[in-house]
Amino acid sequence: MQALIEARGLHLHYGRKKALDDLSFAVQPGRVVGLLGHNGAGKTTLMKALVGLHAAEGTLSVLGRNPCRDRVALLEHLAYIPDVAVLPRWARVSQLVTLMAGLHPKFSADRARALIRRTSVGLDDTVKHLSKGMVVQVHLALVAAIDARLMILDEPTLGLDVLSRKAFYEMLVDEWCDGERSVVISTHQVEEIENLLSDVLMLNEGRLVLSLSLEDIDRRFVALGHDPAAADAIAAAHPLLRYRVQGGSAALFDGAPPPEVAALGRRLRPSLVDLFVALTRRPEINRTQGL
Amino acid sequence: MDRFTRFHTLLLREWMQHRTGWLVLMALPTLLMLGLSLLDGQGLAVDGDNEVHIGQLSQQPLVLQTLGWSVATAGLALLLVGLTVLAQLPGLARRDHQDRSIEFWRSLPISHVQGSGATVLMHLLLLPAAVVTAALLGAQLVALLFIVLHHGPLAWLQQPWGLLLPSLLLGALRLWLGLLLGVLWLSPLLLLTMAASAWLKRWAVPVVVAASMLGTFWLDKRLPVPLVGPAFRRIGTEALYALLAPDLFDGPRRLMQGDMLTAVQGLPGALIQDILRVLASAATPAFLVALAGGALGFALLVLRRQRTE
């Protein structure tokens, strides 16, 4: 099956700063990919490169197209939210539906209206009179009404309350993910979407530090919960991260720890948050801040 | 979905965003002239030699009254829309950046050429054409009311429409053509100013003014043949002629002093001559250079939109 996104050796510079540094990854159909990284790690830059708004060096194919050369044709088959608070403030919601219907060939005005009716926003409301959360709801409803093969979402739930975020994730899983379409979603609320994700891409200072499915993450990384008495022995095995858990301490290893170390604790499921901290925190902090 | 549908939707976007102001702009010349037509005993200077009172205008032949109101209303519309466009122009290029909605538009399958082109076409051509057309139509209402007020309801119907209609229609055609050619002559100044605003933000107008003055008063003195000053003069002269048709303004004087019937009968011919003259001025290398300058400004606009972070 051909990948929906294929990237090899991607580089992108802003002047002398390296925004993307030798990225290589693939996104298969039917996957929900979490794009994680600190502020300034390169998530937005990568997403803009995927939709042809930034020209990156290297090889990049999205839905079989070169994003920069075939940007308009690509965007006809793709739904993209760059940043949720960017709807034109002068527009009424109904006008946005009309404009989207005239600009995007895969947009369904009826579906958009149905999705908007599920929110607290009226079709006659003007964007400038909506709260930030309402603007987000409208934008998500508009994008969800696009019958696209690939959805690229940059912090889509920023500004939404927990109920609205939950409703969005449910809509994503129930109505969008059909085994053929894929989603690439960047977010800081890692814990909330961990159960939705099938794959993870982690960026740190422009570099891809992890590109794995969640199943492979479970197989590769081992978290070991242990008593304080075993702390020194655990530390001597050079885990990626040592952290607190309820009732004690834990350590995260890349690969299986030595059997004598494994025997000192009990195996836990590593959370994405802990993995994220382990792989993107500076190494000297990892070594010096022991628990 | 074809490109025309998308482009049409982008034009619709402009209308949706600005329609309140544009409707006011379309109605204003007619409303002002309506107000003026209800005044009595007020002076209105037609030219330097003759002063015409509104009350006196009602004593002129009816065809002159209708033509007079049409010219005055269209002239006022041209002035108002010209001032509006010039005031809005520097801000247009960065309009969507202020509320960051540029990111929303760039997330849709719209080419940068279409995105910039719809804005330029709507604001520089379609809006002025709509305002002037509304003014011409409104002027007929003003003339109708003025004539009915001073001469009774049947007088308006009894005008020589066989003479008047061709003049009005050809006058409208001359106006639309003049708008198109005037904007094209001015396109280097208009679009390079827009592009400067897109790239330099609030520094655009000062930089454009400074560069123009530098070119005219410093560079031209050092060139074997002055270029900048003569280029500005040529663009200004041709655009002014295209927009205002100064030769035709001899008409009111002829209409008032000479044989009115002959003058009105000659007006369609004079208009056709003027249309041909203004088309001939566009069939020159200077016009092509002006278009090239406009194309450069547009290309810079598109490039800026493409590179928006």
pLDDT for A101 beyond 60: yes
A105 CB neighbours in chain B (<8 A) are: 1, 109
Structure confidence at residue A133 (pLDDT): 85
Q: What is the 3-state secondary structure (H, E, C) of chain A?
A: CCCCEEEEEEEEEECCEEEEEEEEEEECCCCEEEEEECCCCCHHHHHHHHCCCCCCEEEEEECCECCCCCHHHHHCCEEEECCHHHCCCCCEHHHHHHHHHHHCCCECHHHHHHHHHCCCCCCCCEHHHCCHHHHHHHHHHHHHCECCCEEEEECCCCCCCHHHHHHHHHHHHHHHCCCCCEEEEECCCHHHHCCCCCEEEEEECCEEEEEEEHHHHHHHEEEEEECHHHHHHHHHCCCCEEEEECCEEEEEEECCCCHHHHCCEEEECCCHHHHHHHHHCCHHHHHHCCC
CB A188 within 8 A of CB A246: no
Structure confidence at residue A84 (pLDDT): 64
Q: Do B103 and A73 touch (CB under 8 A)?
A: no
- What is the mean predicted confidence (pLDDT) over A176-181? 81
B13 CB neighbours in chain A (<8 A) are: 99
pLDDT, tens digit (0-9, with 9 covering 90-100), for B24-79: 999 999 999 999 888 754 545 455 555 555 556 777 788 888 988 999 999 999 99
Query: Which residue among B9, B106, B109 sits closest to A99, beta carbon to beta carbon?
Result: B9
pLDDT for A189 beyond 90: no
Q: Do B107 and A98 touch (CB under 8 A)?
A: no
Structure confidence at residue B130 (pLDDT): 97
Structure confidence at residue A286 (pLDDT): 41
Residue B43, H or E segment: strand B43-45
Give the least confident one: A168-182, A277-291, B1-15, B271-285.
A277-291
pLDDT, tens digit (0-9, with 9 covering 90-100), for A16-64: 888 999 999 999 999 999 999 888 889 999 999 999 988 999 999 999 9
Distance from CA of A286 to the nearest CA of B (A): 34
Distance from CA of B201 to the nearest CA of A (A): 20
Q: Do B100 and A95 touch (CB under 8 A)?
A: no
Task: Give dist(CA B94, CA B200) in Å, integer.
Answer: 10
The pTM (predicted TM-score) of the whole model is 0.86
Structure confidence at residue A105 (pLDDT): 94
Q: Which residues 166-185 of A are in CB contact (within 8 Å) with B?
A: none
Q: Is B162 on the interface with A (CB under 8 A)?
A: no
B96 CB neighbours in chain A (<8 A) are: 88
CA distances from B177 to A264, B45, B180 (A): 89, 28, 5
Chains A and B: how many Cβ contacts under 8 Å? 66
Domain ranges for chain A? 5-205, 218-288
Q: Which of A44, A70, A72, A94 would you mutate first to test chain B, the one with the most B CBs within 10 A?
A: A72
B1 CB neighbours in chain A (<8 A) are: 76, 104-105
Structure confidence at residue B6 (pLDDT): 94
pLDDT for A288 beyond 70: no
pLDDT for A145 beyond 80: yes
Q: Do B104 and A86 touch (CB under 8 A)?
A: yes
Structure confidence at residue B40 (pLDDT): 56
Q: Is B253 on the interface with A (CB under 8 A)?
A: no
Structure confidence at residue A161 (pLDDT): 83
Give the model's confidence band at A287: pLDDT under 50 very low, under 70 low, under 90 confident, else very high.
very low
Instruction: Name the average pLDDT for chain A.
Output: 87
Q: Is B5 on the interface with A (CB under 8 A)?
A: yes
Query: Which residue among A85, A90, A103 sits closest to B108, beta carbon to beta carbon?
Result: A103
Q: Do B103 and A90 touch (CB under 8 A)?
A: no
| Low pLDDT (below 50) residues in chain B | 41, 43, 45
pLDDT, tens digit (0-9, with 9 covering 90-100), for A204-250: 889 999 899 988 888 888 888 888 888 888 888 888 888 887 778 88
Structure confidence at residue B41 (pLDDT): 45
Task: Give dist(CA A152, CA A146) in Å, integer.
Answer: 12
Distance from CA of A90 to the nearest CA of B (A): 6
User: In 10 A of CB A72, how many CB atoms?
Assistant: 16
Structure confidence at residue A290 (pLDDT): 37
B9 CB neighbours in chain A (<8 A) are: 99, 102-103
Nearest to B240 by CA among B7, B51, B82: B82
Nearest C-alpha in A relative to B113: A72
Q: What is the ipTM of this complex?
A: 0.85
Task: Give dist(CA B137, CA A5) in Å, integer.
Answer: 57
Q: To 5 degrees, how large is the angle CA A274–CA A278–CA A280?
A: 115
Structure confidence at residue B43 (pLDDT): 47
Distance from CA of A114 to the nearest CA of B (A): 21
A5-205: CATH, from 3.30.70.1060, 3.20.20.70, 3.40.50.300, 3.90.1170.50: 3.40.50.300
- What is the mean predicted confidence (pLDDT) over A260-266? 84
CA distances from B99 to A96, A157, B14 (A): 16, 19, 16
Structure confidence at residue B126 (pLDDT): 97
Structure confidence at residue A137 (pLDDT): 87
Which amino acid is residue A46, in one-letter code?
L
